[in-house]
Amino acid sequence: MATETEAQAAASLTALQGKQDGGKQAETADQKGRREPTFCGDIGMEIRRDGTWFYQGSPIGRKALVKLFATVLRKEADGTHYLVTPVEKVSVKVEDSPFLAVAMAVIGEGKDQALSFRTNLDDEVTTDAAHPLSFRPESDGSFTPYVLVRDALLARVNRAVFYDLVELAVEHEGRLGVWSGGTFFAFPQID
């Protein structure tokens, strides 16, 4: 049974997807000639560090609804996240990254190895040149790994998967890192 908050969130997405503007052009053209949906503000969507999605302060408990929202999630060049439909877009506050990498499968070994990650929303992505592994330095001297899922949207690698990743580390040209999809992803050097 959907909660009232989940029903409101679903209604918001439906309105975003199907709003008719009475024939008026509510969009603007970007530099490439594509139509830019009208920005409709903040509707209270948030993705917390632990991967939980919230609507107006309440968690969205239905994974299927969160997965539906995730299909229209975008990140713009300035780092702002939005839910975007052909007609409208609304901002989404993202505490860290919109997805978590919660499982990793290793296929093959050595330079032919492929690392496949599963996100908290069941997206699967194999790390390669098009879906790189990246690392954000932290203030304590450590680093946090991320994998590109799609269109500038990252998944933060959770702690358990990070430990699995570290176990796969090999040395290449004087650096520790991992191979996946024919690409070597070097871990940051810690002083």
d(CA 69, CA 92): 11
Q: Residue 21's pLDDT band (boundaries 50, 70, 90)?
A: very low
Q: What is the pLDDT of residue 138?
A: 87
- Asked if residue 122 has pLDDT above 80, the reply is yes
Out of 31-35, 84-88, 133-137, 153-157, the most confident range is 153-157
Cα–Cα distance between 187 and 178 in angstroms, integer? Answer: 8
Q: Where in the chain is the domain with CATH 3.10.540.10?
A: 4-94
What is the per-residue pLDDT for 189? 83
Task: Choose among 97, 107, 91, 103: nearest CA to 55.
Answer: 91
Positions of CATH 2.30.270.10 in the chain: 99-184
Q: What is the CA radius of gyration of the chain?
A: 19
Name the residue with tokens 């790189």.
Answer: 132
pTM (global) more than 0.85: no
Of 15-24, 91-100, 107-116, the poorest mean pLDDT is in: 15-24
pLDDT digits (tens, 9 = 90+) for 34-75: 678 999 999 999 999 999 999 999 999 999 999 999 999 999
Q: Which residues touch 39 (CB under 8 Å, ≥6 apart)?
A: 82, 88, 89, 90, 91
Looking at the domain that runs over 99-184, which CATH code has it been given?
2.30.270.10
Confidence check: pLDDT of 135 > 90: yes
- Range from 32-36, 139-143, 148-152, 164-168 carrying the lowest mean pLDDT: 32-36
User: Residues 122-150: what's their mean pLDDT?
Assistant: 94
The CATH class for the domain spanning 4-94 reads: alpha beta
